[in-house]
């Protein structure tokens, strides 16, 4: 079964990444556009230019698929409809910060 798995890259940059077999696609499943915010801590920020450059470099080096994780709009829309739970901690309850 090991030969059937496709390994992937998760992180801020994946241009260095290589699949576990030469015939498999080069996949970036989590392009981190930010990171978790600790309570009272600074809000991590990654400029759009850095994100765009990292994607272009990944594709230039043979990347075949890339996914943005977590997309701000997706998170915003989900928290309007549902409680947000991260690592067992409730961040929003009925769209109210707790």
- Residue 43: DSSP 8-state: P
- CA dist., res. 79 & res. 85, Å (int): 10
Q: Which of 2-16, 45-59, 64-78 has the highest mean pLDDT?
A: 45-59
14 alpha-carbon distance from chain centroid = 11
Q: What domain count does the chain have?
A: 1
What pLDDT does residue 70 have?
Answer: 65
pLDDT tens digit string along 62-98? 999 888 876 555 444 444 444 444 444 444 444 454 4
Residues in the chain: 98
Q: Are strands 27-32 and 9-11 parallel, antiparallel or unpaired?
A: parallel
Q: What is the extent of the structural domain holding 41? A: 2-97
Q: For 19-50, what is each residue's pLDDT tens digit?
A: 999 899 999 998 888 777 778 888 777 888 99
Ramachandran region of residue 38, left (φ > 0), alpha (ψ -120 to 50) or beta?
Answer: beta
């Amino acid at each position: 079964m090991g030969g059937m798995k496709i390994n992937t890259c998760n992180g801020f940059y994946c241009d260095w990444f290589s699949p576990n077999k030469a015939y498999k696609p080069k996949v970036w499943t989590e392009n981190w556009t930010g990171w978790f915010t600790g309570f009272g801590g600074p809000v991590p920020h990654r400029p759009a230019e850095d994100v765009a450059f990292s994607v272009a470099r990944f594709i230039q080096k043979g990347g075949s698929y890339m996914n943005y994780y977590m997309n701000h709009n997706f998170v915003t829309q989900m928290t309007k409809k549902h409680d947000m739970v991260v690592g067992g901690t409730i961040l929003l309850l009925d769209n109210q910060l707790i």
